[in-house]
Amino acid sequence: MTDARRLVPRTDTVLAEPAVAAAAERLGRAVVKGAVVAAQDRARRGEIGPADVPGAALAALPSAAASLTPVVNATGVLLHTNLGRAPLSAAAREALGLAAGTCDVELDLATGGRGARGAATVDALLAAVPGAAAAHVLNNGAAAVAMVAAALAGGGREIVIARGELVEIGAGFRIPDLLTSTGARLREVGTTNRVSPADYADAVGPDTAFVLKVHPSNFVVSGFTRSCEVDELTGLGVPVVADIGSGLLAPHPLLPDEPDAATTLARGAALVTASGDKLLGGPQAGLLLGGPGAGAELVARIRRHPLARAMRVDKLTLAALEATLRGPVPPVRVALDADAAVLRARAEALVARLPGVDAVAVNSTSTVGGGGAPGVTLPSAALSLPEPYAAALRAGRPAVLGRLEHGRCLLDLRAVPPESDDAVAEAVAGAPCR
C-alpha cells in the first residue's frame, strides 16, 4: 500500500499554484511558505488530505502583511486611544496612497531644486487657524511640548507652571518629567486646586523662559478651585505657551470648556501646542502654532533647533494631515455632531434585521475620549445584546468592539459610521451566541 504521506505535494509545487503565488506577491514569500509547510505537516498527520494542502495554506494566511486587525468602534468613545484615536477621512486615506510612493515631499518640480518640506501642510494649518502667523508639525503632542521646552528653556532656564497642571498624560508619562528631560527647570506656582495671576507674577524673573499653561484634559477638578486664563498672564514680560491638548482648532458648541487654538491665540498666547489625532480628526502629529510677532519668531527658532530633525514627521503624516485640514469633515467631527434621534433610528433598523437575536435598541451616552472634554457626555443610541456577544464580536473579522453595561453588551453607534451598519448586522447575525 502506498504511504499517503508520499502524496503530499512538494513545497515548490504548492507555491507555484496561481492563488498561492498571488498570495506570496501580496504577503511575502516567507509568510506564505510557512503556511504551506504547516499545511503539509497537517497532511502528513492525516488531519487533511494531500489535495487540501493549497487550500489549507491559503486559509491560514493573514488578510494583510501587517498584523493590525480592523475594528468597528462601537464603544461609544469617539477617540479611543487603544483603537488608534481618530479614524482618518477618505481624503486622508487617499493622500496616504499618493504619499506612499515617490513624491515631491522635498522637491520643487518647477525648478528641479530642493523644496520646503511640509510647506503645503503648514499652509493648510495656517488657513485653518487664521490668527496664527507661523506653524510647525512634529511627531505628536508631547513632542511639540518637549521641543518648545528644549528650544526655549533647555539650557537650564525656568518654566513657570501651576502645580495643578503638572499632569500625567497616560501610560505613566508625566508633563514635569517630559519638561525636565530637556534640561529645563520647573518653577511651580499655586496649589493643586488654586492659582492666581499674582502667583505667576511673583515667580517670573530673569531665568524665566516662558509661562506654560497645560489644559488638564483628562480629568476635572471641581469645588474650591481657581485657574488663570491665558489673557491674565500675557503682561508678565515672558511668552505664554498653551498646551491645549485635544487639537480643537476653533470653538465647538458641544464642548464649551474645551480650549481651541484660535481663541487661545487671540487671548495672547505666543505659542499653542496640540495633537493632530484627536478632535482635529487627523493622523498622529504635534501641532505648533505661533501668534503674530514674538510667536512667529519663536516657531522659527524651534524649527532650527537640532532636535527638530529627530522629531520630524514623515511624508505620510504630512499628506494625511493636509488632506484632513483641506478635505471634507473628518469622521470624528461627523460622529461628534451626530443627531441622537438618527442614531436611535439606526439602532432600531439593526434590530429589525436581526430576527431571532435578543437585540434591543436603547438610548445610551457617549464620550469624547482621547484625553479630551472630560466629564462631557453625548446622547447616543446603542444595540443592546446579551453579554456573551462581547467576546464573540471581538473575535470576528472585522472585530466589533462594544462595552459591557449592566450585564449587557452595548454597541453604541455614535462612533460607527452608517456605512458600517451592514458589517455590524452581519457580525451579530454570524456570532455563535444563540
Q: Which CATH number fits domain 90-328: 3.40.50.450, 3.40.640.10, 1.10.10.2840, 1.10.287.3510?
A: 3.40.640.10
Percent of the chain whose predicted confidence (pLDDT) is above 90: 87
Query: Quick one: pLDDT at residue 216?
Result: 82
Query: For residue range 420-434, what is the model confidence (pLDDT) as tens digits?
Result: 999 999 999 999 886
Strand runs (DSSP E) across 239-321, as ranges?
240-245, 271-275, 286-290
Buried b (16+ CB within 10 A) or exposed e, 76-102: bbbbbeebebbbbbebbeebbeebeee
Q: CATH 3.40.640.10 occupies which residues in the chain?
A: 90-328
Q: Grid coordinates in use for 42?
A: 497537517
Query: Quick one: pLDDT at residue 2?
Result: 58
| Phi, psi dihedrals of residue 208, rounded to the nearest 5° | -75, 125
Residue 176 has pLDDT above 60, yes or no: yes
As separate numbers, helices (DSSP H) first and strands (DSSP E) second, the chain gives 17, 16
Q: Grid coordinates in use for 18?
A: 496561481
Lowest mean pLDDT among 59-68, 254-263, 393-402: 59-68
Q: Which residue has the higher pLDDT, 163 or 220?
A: 163
Q: What is the mean pLDDT of residues 346-366?
A: 96
Strand runs (DSSP E) across 340-396, as ranges?
360-369, 372-386
Q: CATH 3.90.1150.180 occupies which residues in the chain?
A: 71-84+333-430
Which sign does the torsion angle of CA 177, 182, 188, 192 carry?
negative
Q: What is the mean pLDDT of residues 71-76?
A: 98
| Phi, psi dihedrals of residue 86, rounded to the nearest 5° | -70, 125
Query: Quick one: pLDDT at residue 217?
Result: 66
Q: What is the mean pLDDT of residues 358-385?
A: 92
Query: Quick one: pLDDT at residue 1?
Result: 47
**Radius of gyration in angstroms for the set of CA atoms belonging to the chain, rounded to a whole number:** 27
Q: What is the DSSP letter of 399?
A: E
Residue 97 has pLDDT above 80, yes or no: yes
Q: What is the mean pLDDT of residues 207-222?
A: 86
Q: Which residue has the higher pLDDT, 126 or 221?
A: 126
Residue 120 has pLDDT above 90, yes or no: yes
Q: How far is residue 157 from each of residues 297, 396, 417, measured CA to CA in Å?
A: 19, 54, 48
Average pLDDT over all residues of the chain: 94
Q: Cα(first)–Cα(last) distance of the chain, in Å?
A: 47
Per-residue pLDDT band at 246 (split at 50, 70, 90): confident
Per-residue pLDDT band at 4 (split at 50, 70, 90): low
Q: What is the mean pLDDT of residues 81-94?
A: 96
Query: Quick one: pLDDT at residue 370?
Result: 80
Query: Quick one: pLDDT at residue 66?
Result: 87
Q: What is the mean pLDDT of residues 276-293?
A: 96
Percent of the chain whose predicted confidence (pLDDT) is above 70: 98
Query: Quick one: pLDDT at residue 64?
Result: 87
Q: What is the mean pLDDT of residues 24-51?
A: 95
Provide the phi-psi class of 400: left if phi over 0, else alpha when psi is between -120 and 50, else beta.
beta
Pairing relationship of beta strands 134-138 and 77-79 according to DSSP bridges: unpaired
Closest by CA position to 158, among listed 208, 100, 105, 108: 208
CATH number of 71-84+333-430: 3.90.1150.180
Q: What is the mean pLDDT of residues 190-200?
A: 95
Q: Grid coordinates in use for 334?
A: 461627523
| Phi, psi dihedrals of residue 421, rounded to the nearest 5° | -60, -35
